[in-house]
Chain A
Amino acid sequence: MTGGAVVAAGAAGTLAVGGVAAAGAVAVGGLTGTGVADLLAGGCLLAGAVLSLAAGIGVLRLPSTVDRIHAVTKPQVLGMLLILLGLTLRLRNPADLGMLLLVGLFQLATAPVTAQMIGRAAYRSNGVDRELLDTDELA
């Protein structure tokens, strides 16, 4: 329950940041290079925040444990990557770029592993809703 709340709060915060970034870029007006980059950054931050929020809602609402894992692997990972992309466009600093790239890479590399470990444990401890299962070739 709290996990979802944390994700939602985080998403709300990012929404605000994305909104401010986009508004700032628009206020600058003249479509200079930096203005465009800021605008794109705002868009990425917004989209990433919305996806993270959806992932949080999914964790709260989807019927079984295994379904919920889908929510924390896909919208969550893409949301995170979009936020990193937005940060890259906003910071425009080579020193930060390496760190952001690594965060993205490790997110991509570790999320599926976590998902598989939790998924397997969930399956073995009846975290799958049999009512909603069409076929099961693992049984």
Chain B
Amino acid sequence: MARWREQVIAAGWMVLMWNLLWGRFSLGNLVGGLLVAVAVLVFFPLPPVTLDARLRPVALLDLTVRFVAELVTASVHVAWVAVRPGYRPRSAIIAVELRVRTDLNLALTAELLSLVPGTLILDVDRKAGVLYVHVFDVRGTGNLTRSRRRIRDVERRLLRAIGSPAEVRLLTSHPVEEGPNR
């Protein structure tokens, strides 16, 4: 019963959050948090999320460091375009086929992408695993190829950090063809 494991993990997170909100760890907060967590899980059941993740510390650190660096570059870039006088940024919408198929990892990839340079998810085709991405401040087609590669890089780093063994195997068995379309 894998459902059990996920429920316990969710409850653990909620207890931790409850303690953080109160600002200190105590027996009372632990009990209160547990009561709240159980109530939430009983009264607001969520659709099952398959957790088939392996945490790989080194890859996770790599993902985090890169993410922070890209968040900074993205923010400065968008901020600069915003205040630059008389400049009108051009943009594009591209479809990128991903190799991730699990909902959780697809969601996490989309989350990370929304915070890195010039990309924003407009729509998701869950069945085909395709993300429709809005690219900000495009200058020519070379830029789009770069954006595609960057999106795949984010996906690869995420899978290396927390993907299931099967997903990591996909990375090597499905090298992605570089082309103007998909």
A residues in contact (CB < 8 Å) with B: 50-51, 54-55, 57-58, 61-64, 66-67, 69-71, 73-75, 77-79, 94-96, 98-99, 101-102, 108-109, 111-113, 115-116, 119-120, 123, 128, 132-139
- A75→B79 contact, CB < 8 A: yes
Q: In the complex, what distance in Å separates the CA atom of A93 from the CA atom of B15?
A: 21
Q: In the complex, what distance in Å separates the CA atom of A51 from the CA atom of B145?
A: 28
Q: How far is the CB of B53 from chain A (nearest CB, A)?
A: 17
Main secondary structure of the interface of B (DSSP, over half): helix
Chain B residue nearest to A77 (CB atoms) is B115
- B75→A78 contact, CB < 8 A: yes
B1-31 interface (Cβ within 8 A of A): 17, 19-24
Main secondary structure of the interface of A (DSSP, over half): helix
Given contact pairs A73-B114, A98-B21, A58 touches B82 in the complex (Cβ within 8 A) = yes
- B134→A102 contact, CB < 8 A: no
Interface segment among B33-41, B119-127, B160-168, B169-177: the answer is: B119-127
- A120→B122 contact, CB < 8 A: yes
**Please, which residues of chain A bring their CB within 8 A of the CB of B134?**
66, 70, 119, 123, 128
- Which among B110, B112, B120, B136 has the highest number of chain A CB atoms within 10 Å? B120
Q: In the complex, what distance in Å separates the CA atom of A6 from the CA atom of B181?
A: 42
Count, chain B residues at interface, CB 8 A: 46
Given contact pairs A61-B82, A137-B93, A138-B95, A111 touches B114 in the complex (Cβ within 8 A) = yes
Identify which of A73, A109, A116, A132 contacts B89 (C-beta below 8 A).
Answer: A132
B residues in contact (CB < 8 Å) with A: 17, 19-24, 71-72, 74-83, 88-95, 110-115, 118, 120-124, 132, 134, 136, 138, 141, 144, 181
- B121→A67 contact, CB < 8 A: no
Identify which of A58, A113, A115, A136 contacts B78 (C-beta below 8 A).
Answer: A58
- B123→A123 contact, CB < 8 A: yes
- B78→A74 contact, CB < 8 A: yes
- B92→A99 contact, CB < 8 A: no
Given contact pairs A70-B78, A119-B122, A63 touches B88 in the complex (Cβ within 8 A) = yes
